[in-house]
Amino acid sequence: MTIRNDNYQYPLNETWTTDEIVTVTTLYQCVETANEESLPTAELLAAYRGFKTVVPAKSEEKQLGRAFEAASGYSIYRTIQAAQATNKQRFSYRS
């Protein structure tokens, strides 16, 4: 289990608008919640769909995902994969 360190910054792109930053940050927070507690699966997947509207390129998604995992210890990729594979209403991912 990963211990959360609240002293890290989310990886963000300086060219994003405030709305885009909020959208991306929402995904980061949902991934953290999924790894630490639980949340509605639909909420996590909706946050990921929103993230993909801001970050449509796979290469940028991977780059941000690696930076987020390095900072937080949580994998966006593995969390979303597990959420997409479940049929449960609430989702909790324990890596």
Domains and CATH numbers, the chain: 24-86 (1.10.220.80)
Q: What is the DSSP track for 43-92?
A: HHHHHHHHHHHH---HHHHHHHHHHHHHHHS--HHHHHHHHHH---SEE-
Global pTM reads 0.90
Which residue type occupies 85?
A
- Per-residue tens of pLDDT for the chain, all 95 residues: 334 456 788 999 999 999 999 999 999 999 999 999 999 999 999 999 999 999 999 999 999 999 999 999 999 999 999 999 999 999 999 75
